[in-house]
A and B are shown apart, each in its own frame.
Chain A
Amino acid sequence: DIVMTQSPSSLAVSAGETVTINCKSSQSLFWSGSQMNYLAWYQQKPGQSPKLLIYYASTRQSGVPDRFIGSGSGTDFTLTISGVQAEDLAVYYCQHHYDSLPYTFGAGTKLELK
C-alpha cells in the first residue's frame, strides 16, 4: 500500500496568515505517461463530508477559492492556504489517486484558531 504521511497533525493560526500543510507519499505519484501527479486534497468541516479542493496535485476543483494552492511532485506535496479565513478551519486530508490499490489518505491536519 502507498503510505501517505501528513505534517503537522495540527496547526494553530490567526486569520490572514498563510499556512502550509505537507503530505509525503511512500512512492512517487508521478506518471510519466500523463506527466501528472496523482494527489488530491480534501477539506472536512465538523459534521460534514469531505470536500474536494485539489486534484492532480495542483488543479483546483471548480468553485474552490484561489487562496487554496496545491504544489509538489513525486513524493512531496504541499497545500498552501494564503490568507486563512475563519471558514477555512477544518481538517485537511491528502489522498493518492495513482493507479495502485488501495487509494489511501493521510491521517489529516487539523487547522485551528490561535
Chain B
Amino acid sequence: QVQLKESGPGLVQPSQTLSLTCTVSGFSLTSNSVSWVRQPPGKGLEWMGAIWSGGSTDYNSALKSRLSISRDTSKSQVFLKMNSLQTEDTAIYFCTRSGVYYGLSDWYFDFWGPGTMVTVSS
C-alpha cells in the first residue's frame, strides 16, 4: 500500500540548514509527484514545494530562496533542504503524494506521511 515517511533531526539551531528525507513505498517517484507541506504548532498548512514525477521542481515563492527539493528514485526518497532557519520555521513537516486523475498528475494530496516535528532553537 502507499506509504510516505519523513525523517530528520528534531532540533535545528537558528541560521542552520534543515535536511529532511521522505521515504516512499507503494508507488514510484517517476509516476507521482511529491510535495512538502508544513504546519506550525496550532496553525494551518503551508505548501512549500514539490518535485514532479519528471524530476522538475516548483517552490513557494515565499521560501524559494532558501529551499531545495531533490530525489533519489533508486532509493524511493525525496529530500528537502532549507537554509537560514529561524524560530518561525518550527513546524511539523509533511511529505505528500499528488493525486493522479486519468493519468495526469494534479495538485491535490491523496496520501500524507505522519509528519516530523522540527524545532528551531538554540
A residues contacting B by CB (< 8 A) are 1, 38, 40, 42, 48-52, 55-56, 61, 93, 95, 97, 101-108
A-B contact count (CB 8 A): 60
Per-residue CB contact flags for chain B residues 81-122 toward chain A (1 = under 8 Å, else 0) read: 000000000000010000101000011111111110000000
B residues contacting A by CB (< 8 A) are 35, 44-47, 58-62, 94, 99, 101, 106-115
What separation, in Å, do the CA atoms of A101 and B33 have in the docked complex? 15
| Contacts known (A97-B107, A101-B61, A102-B62); A49 close to B45, Cβ less than 8 A | no
Q: Which of A1, A40, A101 has the most CB of B within 10 A?
A: A101
B94: chain A residues within 8 A (beta carbon):
49-50
A49: chain B residues within 8 A (beta carbon):
94, 112-115
| Contacts known (A103-B47, A105-B46); A61 close to B110, Cβ less than 8 A | yes
What separation, in Å, do the CA atoms of A107 and B115 have in the docked complex? 19
